[in-house]
């Protein structure tokens, strides 16, 4: 789940305006992109890598692929994801939002069958500063991402970017950023992302950026309780009225389930420090680390 510079990356939709732009940014940051996919442009090159008609054709030609990044519109996302899954790609970063629910369920079912990790849908991607990134996060901006030992998990790309900026401004860097995505049916949960960072030897502290809706933060609290690493969290949506959808498709509260109070109390009971504003995260993190080593 944590991207490294040796991982071989495929870009589905590489020849589009966004695909080409972000492929160039990923290459600048060290991402090892080995091929792209566009059925209409097969046989060409783009961003100095060969373009194939399918993910399976790319694997047959260039060898095993660790990660695929999808710059694919919603109506074509199912076919592109199945192509990568059946081609043996180990992890797919699904940037696409507004994929039909039935298509998302079919993607997840195929991924379980083939043992493929899905990040997303509706994710901004994953970043390992100083090594590589996959997605649309500004990993190339040194004011936002710097190598360090703080792991960051976020459902929101924009809010995750703000948190990473605040960390760097405070003299802290990131071991990894994991954008789990804003879809109501995610392939990777906050708890699973937390477990990956908890097991990562380069990560010494973890930030959870959550939001109202669903139960991912409550479920992650169980993993937080078992961890010995300092954890700081910010949950957005404190002032949202119950029963009203806010922002991401998954951000809807039904009764007390998924409420701000439920998430905050669960994380605090597990030992995490939950702050009121994003600007407090770095100070709370420094304090938590100092307390741990006192």
Radius of gyration of the chain (CA): 19
Q: Which pLDDT belongs to residue 213? A: 85
* Rounded CA separation 246/252 (Å): 6
List of domains in the chain: 8-119 (3.40.50.720), 141-293 (3.40.50.261)
Alpha carbon of 154 to those of 48, 127, 158, 193: distances in Å?
32, 12, 9, 9
Q: ∠ CA 234-271-179 to the nearest 5 degrees? A: 40
Confidence of residue 223 (pLDDT cuts 50, 70, 90): very high
Asked if residue 201 has pLDDT above 60, the reply is yes
Q: Which pLDDT belongs to residue 243? A: 54
Q: Which pLDDT belongs to residue 149? A: 97
Confidence of residue 214 (pLDDT cuts 50, 70, 90): confident
Task: Report the range of poorest mean pLDDT among 102-106, 127-131, 150-154, 245-249.
Answer: 245-249
* Rounded CA separation 188/93 (Å): 10
Q: Which pLDDT belongs to residue 91? A: 98
Quote the tokens at residue 156: 């929101």
Each as own residue / partner, the long-range contacts of residues 284-292 (CB below 8 Å, 24 or more positions apart, any chain) are 284/232, 285/150, 285/167, 285/172, 285/205, 285/207, 285/230, 285/232, 286/170, 286/172, 288/205, 288/230, 288/231, 288/232, 289/204, 289/205, 289/230, 291/230, 292/230
pLDDT per residue over 229-268, tens digit each? 999 999 998 765 555 555 554 555 555 668 899 999 999 9
What is the average pLDDT across 182-191?
95
Q: Which pLDDT belongs to residue 249? A: 46
Average per-residue pLDDT in the chain? Answer: 93
Q: Which pLDDT belongs to residue 248? A: 53
pLDDT per residue over 28-57, tens digit each? 999 999 999 999 999 999 999 999 999 999
Strand order in the sheet with 8-12: 45-46, 49-52, 32-37, 8-12, 67-70, 91-94, 117-119
Active site residue 293: no
Confidence of residue 279 (pLDDT cuts 50, 70, 90): very high
Q: Which pLDDT belongs to residue 244? A: 52
- Quote the percentage of the chain above a pLDDT of 90: 87
Q: Which pLDDT belongs to residue 257? A: 63
What is the average pLDDT across 208-213?
92
- Quote the percentage of the chain above a pLDDT of 70: 93
What is the average pLDDT across 97-114?
98
Q: Are 237 and 246 in contact (CB under 8 A)?
A: yes
Catalytic residue among 98, 108, 248, 293: 248
Q: Are 166 and 282 in contact (CB under 8 A)?
A: yes
Kind and range of the H or E run holding 159: helix 157-169
Q: Which pLDDT belongs to residue 210? A: 92
Q: Are 197 and 227 in contact (CB under 8 A)?
A: no
Q: Which pLDDT belongs to residue 218? A: 94
pLDDT per residue over 135-175, tens digit each? 999 999 999 999 999 999 999 999 999 999 999 999 999 99
What is the average pLDDT across 223-230?
96
Task: Report the range of poorest mean pLDDT among 108-122, 186-200, 255-269.
Answer: 255-269
Confidence of residue 9 (pLDDT cuts 50, 70, 90): very high
């Amino acid at each position: 789940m944590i991207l490294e510079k040796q991982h071989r990356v495929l870009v589905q939709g590489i020849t589009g305006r966004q695909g080409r732009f972000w492929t160039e940014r990923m290459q600048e940051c060290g991402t090892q992109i080995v091929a792209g996919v566009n059925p209409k442009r097969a046989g060409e090159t783009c961003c100095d890598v060969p373009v194939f008609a399918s993910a399976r054709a790319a694997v047959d030609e260039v060898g095993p692929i660790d990660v695929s990044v999808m710059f694919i519109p919603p109506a074509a996302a199912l076919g592109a994801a199945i192509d990568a899954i059946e081609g043996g790609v180990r992890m797919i970063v699904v940037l696409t939002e507004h994929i039909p629910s039935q298509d998302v369920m079919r993607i997840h079912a195929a991924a379980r069958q083939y043992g493929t990790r899905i990040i997303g849908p509706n994710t901004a991607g994953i970043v390992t500063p100083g090594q590589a990134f996959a997605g649309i996060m500004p990993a190339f901006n040194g004011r936002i991402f710097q190598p360090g030992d703080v792991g960051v998990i976020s459902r929101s790309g924009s809010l995750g970017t703000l948190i990473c900026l605040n960390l760097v401004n405070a003299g802290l860097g990131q071991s990894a950023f994991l954008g789990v995505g804003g879809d109501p049916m995610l392939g990777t949960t906050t708890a699973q992302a937390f477990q990956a960072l908890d097991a990562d030897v380069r990560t010494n502290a973890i930030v959870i950026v959550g939001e109202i809706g669903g139960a991912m933060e409550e479920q992650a609290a169980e993993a937080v309780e078992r961890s010995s690493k300092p954890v700081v969290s910010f949950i957005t949506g404190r002032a949202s009225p119950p029963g009203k959808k806010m922002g991401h498709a998954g951000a809807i509260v039904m009764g007390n389930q998924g409420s701000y109070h439920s998430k905050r109390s669960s994380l605090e009971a597990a030992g995490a420090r939950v702050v009121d504003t994003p600007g407090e995260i770095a100070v709370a993190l420094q304090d938590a680390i100092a307390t741990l080593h006192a």
